[in-house]
Structure 1
Amino acid sequence: HFKIELDNSVPENEVWISKTMSEKFGLDEFEALAYRTKSVQISIDQNKASSLIGSKIGDVIDGSLVGIPAKLKITGGSDNSGFAMRFDVTGSAKRKILLSGPPGFYPEEDGQRRRRTVRGNMISQDVVQVNTIIIR
């Protein structure tokens, strides 16, 4: 695993590595694909959270709800029991469905399937985590 630190003095589309890393691999230059992204966890109070109830995965919401001056697209979430939300399960109830891929199940072999409990695609009182991306 590598620890990455964000430094605004590094030019766009460029990654700097430590001398130790260079010596370990025996190279002075590397080709890499890097994305500048930040993951932020924001907690909001119950009054603001209640305005999200009824929204579905794929809906675009106003970011001012969490203090971001942008639009946010809902991409998923999980409930108070840790069950993942699925975009293809309608409603907000828990359901046991046969899965062959994510979210909710990550197969170890090709063709592997399992019956797993997942949450529907609508946000309800039981949803405690909502995943979003910023839409410009």
Structure 2
Amino acid sequence: MPEFKVVISDPSTGRAEQVELKGDQAARLIGLKIGDIIDGALVGKPGVKLQIRGGSGRAGEPMRPDIPGARKGYFLLSGPPGYWPKEKGERRRKYVRGNTITDDIVQINMVVLRESQEASQKT
């Protein structure tokens, strides 16, 4: 069964919290892509909309939104994520993975898009 660490960032407060998902909860995230918007109830945050912004695999390789699918490999990069060039125009081959969540993903980064009226009144 898959197991993920989900980091949820809230730009309105500037805070981030980490939630661990196992079993059926984690299996619901498999197949989603970077940029997909999900309901917060999937990760234990009802009343909140979350957007997937990225993640990383077991070896620490980052997910890239411009590489389709669940593949991983060496790609020629000219900018982040995965490579930050020292000089203008510099490119390197770096080991990165695609934009789809699979069992090999360890961490998933999400950001809070908006809260419903009821969720904001409870806090």
TM-score normalized by structure 1?
0.71
Could you tell me how far apart the structure 1 residues matched to 2:89 and 2:18 are?
A: 35
- Matching residue of 1:42: 19
3-state DSSP of counterpart to 2:24: helix
Deviations 1:64-119 (A, max 9, x none): 12211201100000011110000000000102110010001011121111001111
1:36 to partner: Cα distance = 3.6
Could you tell me how far apart the structure 1 residues matched to 2:113 and 2:21 are?
A: 20
- Matching residue of 1:64: 41
Instruction: Name structure 1 gaps, 5 residues minimum.
Output: 1-34
Could you tell me how far apart the structure 1 residues matched to 2:75 and 2:55 are?
A: 17
The Cα RMSD (Å) is 1.2
Q: Which has the higher contact order (CA 8 A, sep 6+)?
A: 2
Query: Are residue 52 (structure 1) and residue 29 (structure 2) matched?
Result: yes
How many residue pairs were aligned? 102
Q: Which one has a bigger Cα radius of gyration?
A: 1
Greater strand share, structure number: 2
Instruction: Name structure 2 gaps, 5 residues minimum.
Output: 1-11, 115-123
* One-letter amino acid of the structure 2 residue matched with residue 38 of structure 1: R
Which aligned segments of 4 or more residues in structure 1 are displaced greater than 4 angstroms?
none
